[in-house]
Amino acid sequence: MSFNNLDTLYRQVIMDHYKNPRNKGTIDGDAITVEMNNPSCGDRIEVYLSVKDGIVEDVKFDGEGCSISLASASMMTQAIKGKKLTEALKMSEVFSEMMLGKDVDAGEIDLDDIEALHGVSKFPARINCATLAWKALEKSAKEENV
């Protein structure tokens, strides 16, 4: 597949998550809620995380922002649901390195749709948009004492 076709595919994946977000909403009951915002562009994300026995039982997000921040939140929730919280945090670490333009070896971690955001690393002003929900996940984990 040529670079242009791959770039087009990645754009389509991002727009699909933006227009049809997965796991958008709130969690009623016992969930950690963390709100983060990006003051430079106005993105605002709330992440709701329900962890039981170290497993991400449920995760949802709500908020408003650009296509990158909302698509990234959708991709993140889809990727970490049902995983060990420690594995979700490892995904966050790999994603952050990818956003900084570093060569990453995801190892056994399947980034799936998240890889579509790789091109964001070329636009430093948009990196904060892409990492906003992931930072909320990390903050949630600290509240969970992981």
Stretch 14-32: mean pLDDT, rounded?
95
Residue 122 — φ and ψ, nearest 5°?
Answer: -80, -10
Looking at 3.40.50.300, 3.40.50.150, 3.40.50.970, 3.90.1010.10, the CATH number of the domain 4-143 comes to 3.90.1010.10
In this prediction, residue 86 carries a pLDDT of 95
Separation CA 38–CA 91 (nearest Å): 21
Q: At what angle do helices 85-99 and 124-143 cross, to 10 degrees?
A: 160
Q: Which residue has the higher pLDDT, 30 or 3?
A: 30
Interval 29-88: pLDDT, tens: 889 999 999 988 899 999 999 999 999 999 999 999 999 999 999 999 999 999 999 999
pLDDT score of 3 more than 80: no
The structure's pTM equals: 0.92
Region at 51 (left for phi over 0; alpha for psi -120 to 50; beta for the rest)? beta
Using 50, 70 and 90 to split pLDDT, how confident is the model at 146?
low
Stretch 3-24: mean pLDDT, rounded?
88
In this prediction, residue 103 carries a pLDDT of 80
Per DSSP, 84 falls in state B
| Amino acid letter for position 104 | V
Residue 84 — φ and ψ, nearest 5°?
Answer: -65, 140
In this prediction, residue 9 carries a pLDDT of 82
pLDDT score of 104 more than 90: no
Separation CA 146–CA 129 (nearest Å): 25
Using 50, 70 and 90 to split pLDDT, how confident is the model at 102?
confident
Mean pLDDT of the chain: 91
Rg (CA), the chain: 14
Q: In which residue are the tokens 């570093």 written?
A: 102
